[in-house]
Amino acid sequence: MKKILTLMLLIPLSFFGQSNEITGSITDEIGDPIPFVSVLVKGINRGATSNFDGDYKIKASKGEVLVFSFIGYLTKEITLGDTNIINITLRSSREALDEVVVVGYGTTKRKDLTGAISSVNSEEIMEQPALSAIEAIQGRSAGLQIISDGEPGGSPVIRIRGTGTVQSGRDPIYVVDGIITDNLDNVNSADIETIDVLKDASSLAIYGSRGANGVIIVTTKKPEIGKLKIQFSSYTGVTDVLKKVDMANSAQWQQYYFEVFNRDENAFNTEFGGGVYGDYPLNLLHDTDWFDEITTMGSLINHNLSLSGGSEKVRSFVSANFYEEKGILKDNDYDRFTLRAKTDYNITNKLTFGHNISVAVTNRDRKPTGAFQTAYRQIPIVPVRDPETNRYGVSGEYATVGNPVGSIETTNSAIKQFTISGSANTKYKFNDFISVRSNFGIQSSYMKSVNYDGEIDLYDPNYGQGGAGDARLTERRLDQTKWTFDLYTTLKKTLGANHNFNLVLGTTTDFRTKSSILGQKNHVPEQEEYWSLDNGESILRLEGINSTDIIVRSYLTRLNYDFNHKYLLTLSGRRDGSSQFSDGNKWGNFYAIGTGWVVSEEKFMSNLEFINFLKLRGSWGQLGNQNVPLQILTFTNGLNYALGPNQDLVFGSTLTSILDPNLTWETTEEYDIGVDFELFKNKLSGVVDYYNKLNKDAALATKLPAAFGSEQSVISNLAQIRNEGFEIGLNWNDKVSKSFRYSIGGNISFNKNTLESLTSDTDVTQTGGLIPNGGILTKRLEIGQPLGSWYLHTVAGVDPLNGLLQYEKADGTTTTDVNALEDGDKKHHGSSQPTKSFGANIKLTYKNFGLTVLGYGVAGGYIYNAKKQQRYNGENIELDVFNNRWTPTNTITAEPKPFTSIQPASTYYLEKSDFLRINNITLSYKLPKIIESLDLIRIYVTAKNPFIFTNYTGYNPELPGINDEDSGRLGKGDPMGTQGMEFQAYPSKKSFIIGLNVNF
């Protein structure tokens, strides 16, 4: 009754109420003004924006609701009363406990979270110019190890809480607006609002058999209510080599080479009669710096334009982005064009609908990165081109190495990719208790790659004219389609005053298919316009693959319960059925429990004023990895032979493998204990986590005796792999004065990776880290050791007497005779995987100036300098090797006497991978407001990767490994593959960039 009276009183007031001009200023928690805040009258399409001093003006009437919103801050709503001056303080959403965290099939507030989830926001992503948002957030959060790939267009390798498996998929999954994708290469970083990284089992269990490697949820920017906002940003810059390896020059190489034979120049002349055809080593006509010959200054360009705006009923966001990168390897380029259109509709109060379409077109011109290794090995006395014949110089006499310039100039690889993704989502809210959501997302991509290996005219003085091989064209096309359909219902209820329940029930279906075709011909003309399979002569290869469709059907549920936001409980479960496994192994269940206790809500904490927030968390759960190598018994093709007078190719195929019928997904169990805190008036915030996860049945390839006839290894669930570690993240946010603010953040992660057990009745020794040219193995899987553990002979220095490397024998003695070495003399020497990674960021703002510094580093891992070992003959040596080599007068040194043969795998080639790199220094300036319609003009300069501190002697301490597409060996990110080995790594790069942001 009372309510009705009030209502009756209010109606006439508002009816007659005039629109008043409401004014005020908007500040943040520290009291600094926030410009460009959108101020809207709720329900009416009328809005304003705060100016540079944070002041706003808007016409509104009493009783209407003003909505204040701005990216990076929590939206605030104020119902107008009598006063016409309303000053607002917005809370930053960045560290705010009220920040909404995406948890998979729902959202929650950070303070109610029981799991370990790291979030990175748009501002942080945009601070580092990079193709992929993942590369941009390197060092931003604990527990994420990101190994960047320097090649333009190369995807970084990301590991969440260590590497949990050997043979199976090791990458996390990415969920971009509900669509599961393999990477973020085709997502415009500027479109991203937040990246939430789900790390522990409690958060991940709802992803079941998809969850074991972690899940990265990407939410793109939401269309905002209000007047049309136009944002334009652009940057351009140059890229150069950050770290070069100095090589010996011609005279030094000659000196070294002569010393191998223990002869001086005259003796060499006499012995070989001076008649070595071409006389490269003797006359020193040339002094080629091969690295300089293949590299160039690279460049970066990025333009981004976005439009956003709309009413309560319909809102749209549209963006276009162009990114171009020219690599430091000559003619090695990448460009990408993306478009996104996203619209949200409020059809009724209860029904909302949204769609989101994005397109990415990429062009990647690759050059053989093997040129980096060839350039390292090729000797300086050889000219790039022989002056007389103008052919590419080589000298097989001294170094069995090709011509890197020749290989760059004649080898071409163009990869074009077109990706289109679309999704539609619907939400129907029956009432406050129950709501239903659906999301259907589909992604289709089409890839065409053309490889043209042209004829390469080499000139070798020893053989006179060089040869011209057949030009060979390889064309691949790949079609991929995947779709995801989610349907889930959320039930929310508060029982009594303080018992809050939130239940999610749902299902999701995931489908993926791909097909590819490959053709190869020779004698295709060298003009680029003829690079197609219509030209050329005989077909060398013609292969088509229709991969078997994969369907995963899942049921999921999660119950969140909290008592007065003080005691928290999360129970989640998922049941997955995957088409990939044999009958009886298709279905699996995954469960998790998470608990939290917000200690700071307790009465006894109230007198500890410096503690603003303190939460203890604990969780346990099971996760699966269904991405084990697919098991279908098929004929092995390509076992071809040549018959007939012209030796025509005849095709052969047969069964060469045996399968384990019991193979199923890997199951990982993880527990996590964590603390979240905010201290000293929220100035210091932090997260500390301990985790321990065990992959209980990691798939591992085992060999059968050869007499069984299975050429391929048999994959079975045999191993147990544990990752255990700590993560600490701290952030200090304060101001010196009103115009001078700063924040300092840092994080560090410790991870211990161990192979705990192997269950098999046969020998399952797994070796890896293959150096293909010598058949040398450098890694071995061993119980008690981490994955990717180096297994090498131990070098105990150089024998001062004879200058040879001294190898340790198992019996404790040393020997300089490599023939006396046995496999059993080898030992484990750490792993390619670092045990620690850390990131730090400093941010200063003074008036209109801003300065950001980001740092990142890893420690505890080792690199095998494989390129250095690739010396079969007189290949070039590093300058340091030359300068420090053993000579009869320089006997106490770490570098042996000159040699020209390949050495056994040993710690001589092993180096620490520790490094600390300044990833970014950005200085920015916001121009004072000159034109009314321009909201912001910001200019900045960025130095990307300007400094690196490392003892590693090679080009790049970040070595994700190499994928060899021809052989199908996927070494990238494989701890037992080429990860951590420098063969032909793209060197570390530094960039200097200038940029501009303009907002209308």
Partner 1 sequence: MLIFNKKLEIMKNIISLILTLSIIISCNDTKFIDVAPNSLTPEDALNIEGAGDKIVIAIYDELQKYRTMALPWIVLTTVIADNCEEGGKRLNTDINRINEIENISSSENLLNALWAGHFFGISKANRAITLLPIITTLEQEEINVLIGESKFLRALFYFRLVNLYGGVPLIDHVIDPSDSDDKLLANTRVSKEKIYDFIIADLTAAATVLPLKSERSSSELGRATKGAALGLLAKVNMYLASEQNSMTHWQKVMNLTDEIGTMGYALNYDTFQYLKGPSILSTISWLETAENNEESLFEVQGRAETERDAIKSYANIQNSRGNYIGEPNQEFYDAFESGDLRLLSSITKKGDRNWDGSKVSNARKNTLYNHKAYVSSNKDLNTYEVHPESNKNVRILRYADILLIRAEAANELDQPSIALDIINNGIRDRAGLSPLPASIASKEEIRMAIWKERRIELAFEHDRWFDIGRQGRKGDVMRANGKNFTDGKHDLLPIPLTQILLSGNVLEQNPGY
Among 642, 801, 930, 931, binds partner 1 (CB under 8 A): 642
The residue among 550 and 937 lying less far from partner 1, judged by its C-beta, is: 550
Q: How far is the CB of 490 from partner 1 (least distance, A)?
A: 10
Q: Could you say which residues in the range 303-332 bind partner 1, by CB under 8 A?
A: none
The residue among 572 and 997 lying less far from partner 1, judged by its C-beta, is: 572
For residue 387, state whether it binds partner 1 (rule: CB under 8 A).
Answer: no
The residue among 9 and 633 lying less far from partner 1, judged by its C-beta, is: 633
For residue 8, state whether it binds partner 1 (rule: CB under 8 A).
Answer: no
Judged by CB under 8 A, which stretch of 357-365, 592-600, 643-651, 921-929 contacts partner 1? 643-651
For residue 362, state whether it binds partner 1 (rule: CB under 8 A).
Answer: no
The residue among 100 and 517 lying less far from partner 1, judged by its C-beta, is: 517
For residue 640, state whether it binds partner 1 (rule: CB under 8 A).
Answer: yes
Contact 859, 950 (CB under 8 A): no
Among 52, 322, 345, 555, binds partner 1 (CB under 8 A): 555
Report the distance separating Cα 909 and Cα 399, nearest Å.
Answer: 20
DSSP letter for each residue of 370-382: HHHHHHHHS-TTS
For residue 962, state whether it binds partner 1 (rule: CB under 8 A).
Answer: no
HSE-up (13 A, CA, CB side) for residue 978: 19
Residue 144 CB burial class (10 angstroms; 0-12, 13-18, ≥19): buried
Among 418, 463, 563, 742, binds partner 1 (CB under 8 A): 463
Among 608, 648, 810, 927, binds partner 1 (CB under 8 A): 648
Contacts of 468-471 with C-beta under 8 Å, sequence gap 24+, read: 470/522, 470/523, 471/522, 471/523, 471/524, 471/525, 471/526
For residue 82, state whether it binds partner 1 (rule: CB under 8 A).
Answer: no
Pairing of strands 684-702, 666-679: antiparallel
For residue 967, state whether it binds partner 1 (rule: CB under 8 A).
Answer: yes
Among 414, 902, 941, 970, binds partner 1 (CB under 8 A): 902
Q: How far is the CB of 823 from partner 1 (least distance, A)?
A: 5
Task: Give the closest residue to 583 by CA, choosing from 664, 504, 645, 528.
Answer: 664
Three-state DSSP at 202 gives: helix
For residue 936, count other CB atoms closer than 10 A to its CB.
15
Among 540, 559, 730, 851, binds partner 1 (CB under 8 A): 540
Q: How far is the CB of 549 from partner 1 (least distance, A)?
A: 5
Q: How far is the CB of 855 from partner 1 (least distance, A)?
A: 40
Judged by CB under 8 A, which stretch of 399-407, 615-623, 675-683, 808-816 contacts partner 1? 399-407
Q: How far is the CB of 826 from partner 1 (least distance, A)?
A: 11
Q: How far is the CB of 656 from partner 1 (least distance, A)?
A: 7
Among 84, 266, 462, 739, binds partner 1 (CB under 8 A): 462
Residues near 575 by Cβ (< 8 Å), separated by ≥ 6? 208, 554, 555, 556, 587, 588, 589, 590
Task: Give the closest residue to 903 by CA, choosing from 782, 788, 771.
Answer: 771
Report how far apart, in Å, the C-alpha atoms of 599 and of each of 26, 225, 501, 593, 685 are.
32, 38, 20, 19, 15
Three-state DSSP at 61 gives: coil
Q: How far is the CB of 153 from partner 1 (least distance, A)?
A: 24
Question: Degrees (nearest 5) of the Cα angle 268, 271, 276?
Answer: 75
For residue 633, state whether it binds partner 1 (rule: CB under 8 A).
Answer: yes
Write the interaction track for partner 1 spanning residues 852-891; mark x where CB under 8 A is met and - where it is not. --------------------xx------------------
Report how far apart, in Å, the C-alpha atoms of 177 and of each of 185, 340, 358 are.
15, 12, 11
For residue 904, state whether it binds partner 1 (rule: CB under 8 A).
Answer: yes
The residue among 487 and 569 lying less far from partner 1, judged by its C-beta, is: 487
Tell me the site size for partner 1, rule CB under 8 A: 106
- Phi and psi angles of residue 972, each rounded to the nearest 5 degrees, phi first: -70, 125
Q: Could you say which residues in the range 751-770 bind partner 1, by CB under 8 A?
A: 761-763, 765
For residue 650, state whether it binds partner 1 (rule: CB under 8 A).
Answer: yes
The residue among 496 and 645 lying less far from partner 1, judged by its C-beta, is: 645
For residue 578, state whether it binds partner 1 (rule: CB under 8 A).
Answer: yes
Judged by CB under 8 A, which stretch of 77-85, 566-574, 633-641, 691-699 contacts partner 1? 633-641
Contact 156, 130 (CB under 8 A): no
Q: How far is the CB of 268 from partner 1 (least distance, A)?
A: 9
Q: How far is the CB of 872 from partner 1 (least distance, A)?
A: 5
Report the distance separating Cα 174 and Cα 141, nearest Å.
Answer: 17
Q: What is the CA radius of gyration of the chain?
A: 32
For residue 436, state whether it binds partner 1 (rule: CB under 8 A).
Answer: yes
H or E element in which residue 269 lies: helix 265-271
Q: Could you say which residues in the range 252-281 bind partner 1, by CB under 8 A?
A: 272-273, 275-277
Rounded-to-10 torsion of CA 46, 49, 54, 55:
-50
The residue among 183 and 255 lying less far from partner 1, judged by its C-beta, is: 255
Contact 934, 999 (CB under 8 A): yes
Contact 281, 398 (CB under 8 A): yes
Amino acid at 209: S
Contact 719, 694 (CB under 8 A): no
DSSP 298: E
Among 65, 434, 744, 842, binds partner 1 (CB under 8 A): 434
Judged by CB under 8 A, which stretch of 75-83, 124-132, 774-782, 974-982 contacts partner 1? 774-782
Q: Could you say which residues in the range 479-518 bind partner 1, by CB under 8 A?
A: 487-489, 491, 505-507, 509
Q: Could you say which residues in the range 814-833 bind partner 1, by CB under 8 A?
A: 818-819, 822-823
Q: How far is the CB of 706 from partner 1 (least distance, A)?
A: 4
- Phi and psi angles of residue 634, each rounded to the nearest 5 degrees, phi first: -135, 165
Report the distance separating Cα 846 and Cα 712, nearest Å.
Answer: 63
For residue 933, state whether it binds partner 1 (rule: CB under 8 A).
Answer: no
Q: How far is the CB of 633 from partner 1 (least distance, A)?
A: 6
For residue 705, state whether it binds partner 1 (rule: CB under 8 A).
Answer: yes
The residue among 706 and 930 lying less far from partner 1, judged by its C-beta, is: 706
Q: How far is the CB of 23 from partner 1 (least distance, A)?
A: 43
Q: How far is the CB of 276 from partner 1 (least distance, A)?
A: 5
Among 658, 853, 859, 923, binds partner 1 (CB under 8 A): 658
DSSP letter for each residue of 602-659: SGGGTT-TTEEEEEEEEEEEEEEE--SPP----PBP---EEETTTTEEE---B-----
Among 5, 8, 497, 706, binds partner 1 (CB under 8 A): 706
Task: Give the closest residue to 190 by CA, choosing from 155, 234, 150.
Answer: 234
Pairing of strands 351-366, 795-798: unpaired
Among 63, 72, 106, 577, binds partner 1 (CB under 8 A): 577
The residue among 107 and 656 lying less far from partner 1, judged by its C-beta, is: 656
HSE-up (13 A, CA, CB side) for residue 722: 13
The residue among 295 and 578 lying less far from partner 1, judged by its C-beta, is: 578
For residue 536, state whether it binds partner 1 (rule: CB under 8 A).
Answer: no
For residue 201, state whether it binds partner 1 (rule: CB under 8 A).
Answer: no
Report how far apart, in Å, the C-alpha atoms of 939 and of each of 300, 321, 573, 849 are.
17, 19, 49, 10
For residue 396, state whether it binds partner 1 (rule: CB under 8 A).
Answer: yes
Q: How far is the CB of 798 from partner 1 (least distance, A)?
A: 19
